[in-house]
Amino acid sequence: MHSILEEDLELIIKSDIAWENYRNKTILITGATGLIGSLLVKTFVRFNRISQGNVLIIAVVRNGEKAKRILGEELKEAEVKVYVGDITEDIYIEEDIDYIFHTASVTASKIMVENPVETIEVSYQGTNNILKLARQKSVKGMVYVSSMEAYGISNPELEFVEEKDLGYIDLANVRSSYSEGKRICECLCTAYMSEYQVPVTIARLAQTFGAGILETDNRVYAQFAKSVIDEKDIILHTDGLSEGNYCYTRDVIRGLLILGYLGESGQAYNVVNSESHMQIREMAQLVAEKVSDGKIKVIYDIPDNPLKYGYAPPVKMHLSSRKINALGWKAEVGLEEAYKRMIADMKEGIQ
């Protein structure tokens, strides 16, 4: 375990989470080999070790070998059980379940563009099956991990985008398989809450990165970080005017844990550091100037049609964290520190 990530996990355990809600409980986590899912598994394992939490963790994955690679240390623990299967098919779990964190989703833009049908199927059918399971097991709480992309293109005149301020999604763009998939899943969560009283809360995550990102991650923040490590210039393939909303991994995990027992059923909450908001080009400049200490620069190489490469449509949107702040959550790690911690963690993995 890398020291930066270990420090983050311990800080989560020592934070203001009401851990008694999870003590002696069974937690099911889908997408347990993804960034958010794997960090949730690791967090609960540390809770068991540090605070004798006695939590049974059921990690739902599609690929058992990948689980061994990403969760190798955690899988040695008796409190971790792995369920290997496809969530778009029927799921059978023998144990009672107290809480569910549904993080499974397609996250690679290339897949969204090349396999839009499968992207939608994973979203809708997978979420429907997990909600059925939540109903069957009479869970105490469920968190559906959605995305800020569910907003689409919001009204650019809004100073802050609140949870009610949904915008336009272009259904003729195949990449909308992801964003529209998130919307229908949120609607499905609300339907299960209304019709079957399933206590499900929706977490709309800002772009999340930090210690713990996977070696295979190739999203923009990972590319920027690798540019710093390799001392190579950052190359932007768009004009970079699109506005980004970000949150550090440790802060996101804390937010999800709070929503698990405190979030209002059927409600959506932005999980975002509202102060970490800037244009992509501004973030690239920050990384080049401050994180790399000026050792690299930003270069623009813009193709004729950026959308065909899977880049999200440009947006002007500043997400508000007011609603989740009212539950007692507040982001702690700013953008510059997030990059420095992530890069230090990545370097530990290289050594």
Are 270 and 319 in contact by the 8 Å Cβ rule? The answer is yes
> Domain total for the chain?
1
Angle between helical axes of 249-262 and 3-13 (0-180°, round to 10): 30
Position 80: which residue type?
V
Residue 235 lies in a domain: no
Residue 301 lies in a domain: no
Q: What is the CATH number of the domain that holds 151?
A: 3.40.50.720
Residue 92 lies in a domain: yes
Give the residue numbers spanning the domain of 39.
3-210+245-275+316-334
Q: For each of the chain's 351 residues, which pLDDT tens digit applies?
A: 579 999 999 999 999 999 999 999 999 999 999 999 999 999 999 999 999 999 999 999 999 999 999 999 999 999 999 999 999 999 999 999 999 999 999 988 889 999 999 999 999 999 999 999 999 999 999 999 999 999 998 888 899 999 999 999 999 999 999 999 999 999 999 999 999 999 999 999 999 999 999 888 888 899 999 999 999 999 998 888 889 999 999 999 999 999 999 999 999 999 999 999 999 999 999 999 999 999 999 999 887 776 655 666 677 899 999 999 999 999 999 999 999 999 999 999 776
Residue 340 lies in a domain: no
Residue 282 lies in a domain: no
Q: Provide the CA 205 distance to its chain's centre, in angstroms.
A: 6
Residue 87 lies in a domain: yes
Are 30 and 99 in contact by the 8 Å Cβ rule? The answer is no
- The predicted model scores a pTM of 0.94
Residue 343 lies in a domain: no
Residue 114 lies in a domain: yes
